[in-house]
Each structure stands twice: as structure tokens, then as C-alpha cells.
Amino acid sequence: MSAETVSRTERIAQLNDLCRRGVYPNGRHQMTRTLRATLEEPGAVPGLLATSRLMKAIREYEFTGDDGPERDFGAFDFDGHRVCFKIDYYEPSMVYGSEDPSDPSVTVRVMTIMLTSDY
């Protein structure tokens, strides 16, 4: 692997970290209906608190070598459920994939949070 490839991969990973933390300007977070229903099962207020704790867990997620070098996927246990997140890269109209995920000016990042059974 060339130094250029490594630095491009690391740049993508850094941008994914920003998206995961909610500070990437062209980032969006979405949650599957199944996960949302699971979190809201005891009621709206407990569901909102669970969602807040889940987002904190994603922001603080510790990646392993198995997660991949771009830090675009993670899976962990949360309140008795196996949860995962995946970051995908789109061009600005969000119709097609981004041609260069290392360039934030041409990339919208979408982090989907779901139960692993949704994946």
C-alpha cells in the first residue's frame, strides 16, 4: 500500500469520525424503524433517553482492527441488543455514491444506525 493510499484512507477515517460525532457539516444520521421502535418500546421519554445514550456510545466507540481502516462500521451491545452503525458516502444530490470520500466538498456522509438483524 502506498503512502498516498494510507493518507487518503486515514483522511476518510478522520472525516468519518467527525460524522460519527455529529460535527461533519454534510453529515446525516438515520436510525432504522426497527431500532427506533425497540428504543421507544417503554415509552417516548425513556426512548429519547435511550437514543441519547446510544448516540453517546457511538461517539465513544473504540474501533478494532476487524472494523476496517476507514472507521465506517461498528457493532456493539446496547441495552441487551446488538446494534451497529454504517457510514456511506454520497455525492451532494445523494443519488449516486461519492467519487472521492476523502473530499468533504463533494461528499455527504450518511450514518445509518440499526439492529444487526436489520443489516
Q: Are 114 and 35 in contact (CB under 8 A)?
A: yes
* Mean pLDDT value of segment 107-116: 98
Report how far residue 61's alpha carbon sits from residue 94's, in angstroms, rounded to the nearest whole number.
Answer: 26
Model confidence at 48, in pLDDT bands (50, 70, 90)? very high
Q: Are 111 and 86 in contact (CB under 8 A)?
A: yes
What are the two backbone dihedrals, phi and then psi, of residue 41, each rounded to the nearest 5 degrees?
-55, -45
Report how far residue 5's alpha carbon sits from residue 35's, in angstroms, rounded to the nearest whole number.
Answer: 35
Burial annotation 85-112 (CB, 10 A radius, 16+ → b, else e): bebebbeeeeeeebeebbebeebbbbbb
Model confidence at 4, in pLDDT bands (50, 70, 90)? low
pTM of the entire predicted model: 0.91
> Which candidate, 24, 25, 28, places its Cα nearest to that of 16?
24
Q: Is 26 helix (H, G, I), strand (E, B) or coil?
A: coil
Model confidence at 119, in pLDDT bands (50, 70, 90)? confident
